[in-house]
Amino acid sequence: MRAANVLHLGVKELRGLARDPMMLILIVYAFTLSVYSQSRAIPETLNRAPIAIVDEDRSPVSARIASAFYPPFFTAPRLIDAAEMDRLMDQGEIAFALDIPADFQRDLLAGRAPTIQLNVDATRMSQGLSGAGYVQAIVSGEVTAFADRYRAVATPPADLVIRARFNPGLDKTWFGAVMNVINNVAMLSIILAGAALIREREHGTIEHLLVMPVSAGDIMVAKIWSMSLVVLAATAFSIYAIVEGALGVPIYGSVSLFLFGAALQLFATTSLGVFLATLAGSMPQFGMLLMLVLLPLQILSGGATPRESMPEAIRTLMLAAPNTHFVMLAQSVLYRGAGLSVIWPQLLALAGIGAAFFAFSLARFRRSLR
C-alpha cells in the first residue's frame, strides 16, 4: 500500500462526491435541518399544546389554575362553556379540555375531595401522553398551594430535594440533538462509503483502477479516509452551529475529544459500508441491506432506549456494534464533560471493532474483485 496512491484515490472520491448533488444535499440536510427539526419535535416534548378551560366555579382557585398554563408547554388557555367543549374536541382545535365544576373551591376548603375532569384528545398520542401528566402536576400544585393558605397541612417527615445534573431543566431537546448527530454519523458514513463503491461498479471505473498499479487495500483505504473526512467535517459543523448554536445545547466536554472518538467510529462504519456494498449488486439492494443493519445499530445501541432495559443477550450482542460504544463515549464527553481517563475503554473498543471490520471487509472486497 502506497501513501501516494491512497491520497490520490481519496481526492478522486472527493471530486466524485462533489459532482453528486443529491449526496451533497443529503449530507447538508442530515447534519442541519434534520438535526434541528427532529430535536424540536421529539415525541415526548410538549410544546404549545392547545388547551381550553370550562370554569363553572369562577372562584379564585379556578382563576389560579387557569393562569398556570402558559407557553412554551401550552398555548394561552381558551375559556369556554361546557357546550363548546365537545365541539372543539371533535374539530381537533384543542388537545386538552379542563372542566372545573361548580362549588369546587367550597368543597376544597371544607376538606372534601372535589374532582376536576380532564378531557384529552387521544389521537394526539405523544401530546396526550405527556401532556396529561403536565396538567395533573400543574393542577395539583396550584390547588395544594391555595389550600395551604387556608388550612394547616401536616409537614411531611422528610422532604425529597431533586437536583438534576447535566440537564437541570430536563429538556429532552438536549438529549435528542446529540443523539440525532450520532445516528447521522453512522447512517451517512455507511451510505457514502457503500455508494462510492457501487458507483465505481455502475460506471465501470473499478475495472480501470484494477489495471493500474494500485491494490484493493489502496482503493478501500482511500474510500474510508475520504468519506470519513466529509462526515467528520459535517459532524463538527453540526455540533457547533446546530446543537450548540441554533438549539442552545451546552457542551460540557471537549469537542476535539468527541471528534477523535467519532473518527474511530467512522473507521468502523465506513468499513461496514464497504462490506455491504460488496454484498449488494445495485443501489436498491444496498438500501435494503442498509435498513437491516442501520435500524438495529440505532435502536439497540443505547441512544433511543437505555441498555439496562434490554434483555441480557441483546446487551451482550450489541457490545460488538460500534454504535454502542460511541453512544457511551458521546454522552460521557458532551453531557458530563468526561476526559480521556474515563472514556479510554470506549476508544479501545472502537479501535478494535474498526480493525476487525476493516480486515473482514478488505478480505471480502478482494474476493469480489476476482
Q: What is the pLDDT of residue 310?
A: 87
Cell 362549588, residue located: 103
Helical packing angle, 216-237 and 255-279, nearest 10°: 140
Q: What is the pLDDT of residue 157?
A: 64
Residue type present at position 58: R
| C-alpha cell recorded at residue 233 | 467535517
Starting at the edge strand that comes first in sequence, how are the strands of the sheet with 117-120 ordered?
A: 78-80, 51-55, 96-100, 117-120
| C-alpha cell recorded at residue 280 | 449488494
C-alpha–C-alpha distance, residues 161 and 186, integer Å:
39
| Run of H or E residues at 79 | strand 78-80
Q: Is 272 helix (H, G, I), strand (E, B) or coil?
A: helix
Environment class of residue 319 by beta-carbon count within 10 Å: exposed (0-12), middle (13-18) or buried (19+)? Answer: exposed
Q: Is 74 helix (H, G, I), strand (E, B) or coil?
A: strand
* DSSP classification of residue 242: I
Dihedral angle sign, alpha carbons of residues 351, 356, 359, 365: negative
Per-residue pLDDT of the chain (370 residues; tens, 9 = 90+): 688 888 988 998 899 899 989 999 999 999 999 999 988 876 566 778 899 999 999 999 999 999 999 888 899 999 999 889 989 988 889 999 999 999 999 998 888 889 999 999 888 777 777 888 889 989 988 888 888 775 455 555 666 777 777 887 777 788 889 899 999 999 999 999 999 888 888 777 777 777 788 888 888 999 999 999 999 999 999 999 999 999 989 998 899 999 999 999 999 999 999 999 988 878 888 989 998 999 888 889 888 788 888 889 999 999 999 999 999 999 999 988 999 999 999 999 999 999 999 999 999 988 877 7
| Run of H or E residues at 53 | strand 51-55
Greatest Cα pair distance, the chain, in angstroms, is: 93
Cell 491512497, residue located: 6
DSSP 276-293: HHHH-SSHHHHHHHHHHH
| Run of H or E residues at 360 | helix 340-368
C-alpha–C-alpha distance, residues 239 and 259, integer Å:
10
Cβ atoms 243, 178 nearer than 8 A:
yes
Q: For 228-346, where are the E strands, in sequence order?
A: none
Q: What is the pLDDT of residue 150?
A: 57
| Run of H or E residues at 186 | helix 172-203
Q: Is 120 helix (H, G, I), strand (E, B) or coil?
A: strand
Q: What residues have CB less than 8 Å from 77, skipping those under 6 apart?
A: 51, 52, 53, 66, 69, 98
Distances (CA, A) of 70 to 40, 66, 272: 18, 9, 48
C-alpha–C-alpha distance, residues 79 and 133, integer Å:
21
C-alpha–C-alpha distance, residues 184 and 349, integer Å:
20
Cell 365537545, residue located: 86
Q: What is the pLDDT of residue 213?
A: 80
Q: What is the pLDDT of residue 347?
A: 96
Q: What is the pLDDT of residue 189?
A: 94
| C-alpha cell recorded at residue 268 | 468502523
Q: Hey, what domains does the chain have and what are their CATH numbers?
A: 3-42+171-368 (no CATH), 51-148 (3.40.1710.10)
